């Protein structure tokens, strides 16, 4: 406990130092911009901040060694490294030469490449429950999207050659599109995430993009027309936000967020559709200059989304079939007696009600036999419960095998008592079946020294009725039970029967 408190105290101190460091950093960069200073000083402080952001991501990657979510931090660190290198290349090239052409510099290539790992860090599905094929399709769509973005930056369409400002503004619009796209994707992923650490990264990235998108949109448009001045600080604020949010404890509302199932379903279904839609729109933009490349992107967006849905639909159908099979198996298990394997009391009640309704429709009769093993308690006391259980299993199987028709039913009513349902059976037929069962159990010759017969016997109570003469099947069951107890009192190992089909005077 003391160690946990010590770690918490250290984290609070680290966050406090980071806040102080952020204040001094912004102050220092402000002074570098407004006071006469070498141009490389500003490039140096921006590089230092970018390096701190990368170190922060790698720290989380190492800390989450057992979680697949750590790859989000790693992918973002790679993208941040490429983006930071791009900024430094452009800054130093501008300082060391008179060229300020961003589009023709290696910096534009690195900026384009940086978007690919960042796209993967946000849009990739790190949920291990998702089918592997779906995750691979999502990754392929993200890579295609990143490639088209790269092509559009390096070879912007519909812009006359020589108009540098127009080129940069066109690129700025494309960057704004990418930023909004990533912002929406982060929000969707955040809503469907059920992992706290996954939610942490998405929360940090969403906060970063929510501040970065409008700030950089204004800064880039300002820089396209005027010399970069105080707006250069806009490049610093989003990375600082990223670092501070990553090191601060996750807010309780974010950690305990439980969106409604409807929102989760909408976000889960909308995220891949949004990726495919962005790929189609970007493919249309690229196709104006590179038709086949853009058309390929559009085709991949449509096919990828369709294939992804087909796989998920197939998995859902497979899961549905498995659930239905499991449900059927559970229903069968729930209807069986755990010891004897024949239907249980619940199944008997359902069968009795169903056969009674059938007899009503057909104007037929229904017979019930109540069967009880004689002197069973004495058997248990003398031979033990295991022998008693074995006796129940043997008698249950014997009764089931001796029933004359496939539609006849036997179930364990409770304890050593069994119940038989004989649809469409007359009074004489019920007595014949009852005598057949009684004599069949006797022929098993199962030893029971505590019985006056020296072997296992059963007593049977039978009742036969029709809907015309019996108001409810419960009366038929009660009559069969009373007949069973008369057989017990009359000496056991016998059959007592009542005919309820004959109207009583």
Contact 47, 88 (CB under 8 A): yes
Q: Which two tokens stand for residue 37?
A: 């200073």
User: Is residue 258 one of the residues assigned to a domain?
Assistant: yes
Residue 9 confidence (pLDDT): 46
User: Is residue 183 one of the residues assigned to a domain?
Assistant: yes
CA distance 410 to 343: 7
User: Is residue 8 one of the residues assigned to a domain?
Assistant: no
φ, ψ for residue 343, nearest 5 deg: -55, 150
Q: Report how many domains make up the chain.
A: 2
Instruction: Assess whether 233 and 90 both reside in one domain.
Output: yes
The two beta strands, 417-423 and 365-373, are: antiparallel
Instruction: Assess whether 316 and 355 both reside in one domain.
Output: no
- Sign of the torsion formed by the C-alpha atoms of 84, 88, 94 and 99: negative
CA distance 287 to 274: 20
- Sign of the torsion formed by the C-alpha atoms of 51, 57, 61 and 63: positive
Residue 6 confidence (pLDDT): 41
Residue 5 confidence (pLDDT): 43
CA distance 166 to 401: 91
Instruction: Assess whether 269 and 176 both reside in one domain.
Output: yes
Output the domain CATH number for residue 457.
3.30.70.270
3-state secondary structure of 462: strand
Q: Which of 406, 424, 438 is nearest to 368 (CA)?
A: 424
Contact 290, 123 (CB under 8 A): no
DSSP class of residue 343?
A: B
Quick one: three-class SS letters along 270-299? HHHHHHHHHHHHHHHHHHCCCHHHHHHHHH
Instruction: Assess whether 161 and 71 both reside in one domain.
Output: yes
CA distance 288 to 286: 5
Place of tokens 């369709």: 306
User: Is residue 334 one of the residues assigned to a domain?
Assistant: no
Instruction: Assess whether 356 and 295 both reside in one domain.
Output: no
Instruction: Assess whether 421 and 275 both reside in one domain.
Output: no
CA distance 17 to 12: 9
> Alpha carbon of 399 to those of 184, 409, 458: distances in Å?
68, 10, 11
Instruction: Assess whether 129 and 43 both reside in one domain.
Output: yes
The two beta strands, 495-499 and 409-414, are: unpaired
User: Is residue 52 one of the residues assigned to a domain?
Assistant: yes
Q: Which two tokens stand for residue 168?
A: 């940069």
User: CB-based burial of residue 485 (10 Å sphere; 0-12 exposed, 13-18 middle, 19+ buried)?
Assistant: middle
Q: Which of 368, 181, 364, 209 is nearest to 276 (CA)?
A: 181
The two beta strands, 458-466 and 365-373, are: antiparallel
Helices (H), ranges, 445-503: 473-489
Each residue's pLDDT tens digit in the chain (505 positions)? 444 344 444 455 555 555 555 555 556 555 555 444 444 555 666 677 788 888 888 988 988 877 778 888 998 999 888 887 877 776 666 666 655 454 445 666 777 778 788 887 887 766 666 677 877 887 788 778 777 877 776 665 444 444 555 556 666 777 777 788 888 888 888 887 777 888 888 899 898 888 888 887 777 666 656 555 554 566 677 888 888 888 888 888 888 887 777 777 777 766 677 778 878 887 887 787 778 888 888 888 888 888 888 887 888 888 888 888 888 888 777 888 888 989 999 999 999 999 999 988 888 899 999 999 999 988 888 888 899 999 999 999 999 999 988 889 999 998 899 999 999 999 999 999 999 999 999 999 888 887 878 889 999 999 999 888 888 889 999 999 999 999 999 989 999 999 988 765 5
User: Is residue 23 one of the residues assigned to a domain?
Assistant: no
The contacts found for 412-417 with CB under 8 angstroms, 24 or more apart, are 412/337, 412/339, 412/340, 412/342, 412/343, 412/344, 412/345, 412/348, 413/345, 413/348, 413/370, 414/345, 415/376, 416/372, 416/373, 416/376, 416/388, 416/392, 417/370, 417/371, 417/372, 417/373
Helices (H), ranges, 335-426: 345-362, 376-383, 385-402
User: Is residue 147 one of the residues assigned to a domain?
Assistant: yes
CA distance 144 to 80: 20
Residue 301 confidence (pLDDT): 83
φ, ψ for residue 141, nearest 5 deg: -65, -40
Contact 242, 208 (CB under 8 A): yes
**Which residues pair with residue 466 across a beta bridge?**
365
Q: Which domain holds residue 476?
A: 345-499
Rounded to 5°, the CA angle 101-220-45 comes to: 85
Q: Which of 166, 182, 175, 159 is nearest to 217 (CA)?
A: 175
User: Is residue 380 one of the residues assigned to a domain?
Assistant: yes
φ, ψ for residue 420, nearest 5 deg: -120, 135
Q: Which of 324, 359, 380 is where one domain is finished?
A: 324
Residue 283 confidence (pLDDT): 82
Q: How many CB atoms sit inside 10 A of residue 452's CB? A: 11
CA distance 225 to 494: 110
Instruction: Assess whether 185 and 217 both reside in one domain.
Output: yes
Q: How many CB atoms sit inside 10 A of residue 338's CB? A: 8
Instruction: Assess whether 129 and 186 both reside in one domain.
Output: yes
Q: Which of 448, 140, 89, 439 is nearest to 275 (CA)?
A: 140
Instruction: Assess whether 412 and 456 both reside in one domain.
Output: yes
CA distance 334 to 331: 5
Contact 369, 461 (CB under 8 A): yes
Q: Which of 295, 324, 353 is where one domain is finished?
A: 324
Q: Which two tokens stand for residue 177?
A: 């599109």
Instruction: Assess whether 426 and 367 both reside in one domain.
Output: yes
Distance linking the first and last C-alpha atoms of the chain = 86
Instruction: Assess whether 109 and 207 both reside in one domain.
Output: yes
Helices (H), ranges, 35-69: 39-63
Contact 98, 170 (CB under 8 A): no
What kind and span of H or E run contains 261?
A: helix 261-287
């Amino acid at each position: 406990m003391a160690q946990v408190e010590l770690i918490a105290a250290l984290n609070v101190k680290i966050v406090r130092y980071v806040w102080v460091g952020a204040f001094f950093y912004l102050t220092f960069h402000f002074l570098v911009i407004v006071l006469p200073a070498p141009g490389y000083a500003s490039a140096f402080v921006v590089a230092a901040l970018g390096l701190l952001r990368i170190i922060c991501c790698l720290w989380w990657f190492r800390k989450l060694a057992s979680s697949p979510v750590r790859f989000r931090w790693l992918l973002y660190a790679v993208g941040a490294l490429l983006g930071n290198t791009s900024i430094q290349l452009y800054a130093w090239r501008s300082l060391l030469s008179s060229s300020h052409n961003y589009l023709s510099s290696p910096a534009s290539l690195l900026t384009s490449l940086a978007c690919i790992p960042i796209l993967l860090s946000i849009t990739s599905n790190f949920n291990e429950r998702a089918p592997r094929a779906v995750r691979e399709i999502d990754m392929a769509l993200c890579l295609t999207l990143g490639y088209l973005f790269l092509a559009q930056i390096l070879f912007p369409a519909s812009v006359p050659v020589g108009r540098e400002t127009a080129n940069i503004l066109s690129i700025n619009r494309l960057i704004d599109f990418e930023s909004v796209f990533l912002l929406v994707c982060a929000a969707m992923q955040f809503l469907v995430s059920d992992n706290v650490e996954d939610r942490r990264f998405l929360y940090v990235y969403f906060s970063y993009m929510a501040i970065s998108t409008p700030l950089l949109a204004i800064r880039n448009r300002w820089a396209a027309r005027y010399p970069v001045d105080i707006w250069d600080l806009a490049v610093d604020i989003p990375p600082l936000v990223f670092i501070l949010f990553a090191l601060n404890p996750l807010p309780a509302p974010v950690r305990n967020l439980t969106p409604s199932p409807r929102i989760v379903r909408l976000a889960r279904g909308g995220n891949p559709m949004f990726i495919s839609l962005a790929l189609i729109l970007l493919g249309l933009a690229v196709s104006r200059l590179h038709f086949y490349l853009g058309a390929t992107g559009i085709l991949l967006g449509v096919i990828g989304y369709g294939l992804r849905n087909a796989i998920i639909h197939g998995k859902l159908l497979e899961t549905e079939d498995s659930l239905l099979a499991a449900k059927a198996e559970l229903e069968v298990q729930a209807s069986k007696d755990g010891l004897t394997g024949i239907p249980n009391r619940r199944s008997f009640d359902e069968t009795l009600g169903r056969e009674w309704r059938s007899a009503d429709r057909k104007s037929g009769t229904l017979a019930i036999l109540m069967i009880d093993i004689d002197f069973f308690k004495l058997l248990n006391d003398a031979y033990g419960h295991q022998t008693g259980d074995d006796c129940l299993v043997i008698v249950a199987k014997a009764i089931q095998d001796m029933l004359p028709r496939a539609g006849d039913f036997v179930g364990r009513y409770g304890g050593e008592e069994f119940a038989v349902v004989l649809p469409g059976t007359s009074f004489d037929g019920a007595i014949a079946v009852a005598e057949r069962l009684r004599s069949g159990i006797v022929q098993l010759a199962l030893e029971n020294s505590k019985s006056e017969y020296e072997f296992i016997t059963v007593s049977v109570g039978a009742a036969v009725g029709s809907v015309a003469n019996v108001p409810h099947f419960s009366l038929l069951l009660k009559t069969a039970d009373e007949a069973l107890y008369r057989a017990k009192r009359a000496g056991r190992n016998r059959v007592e029967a009542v005919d309820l089909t004959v109207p009583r005077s």
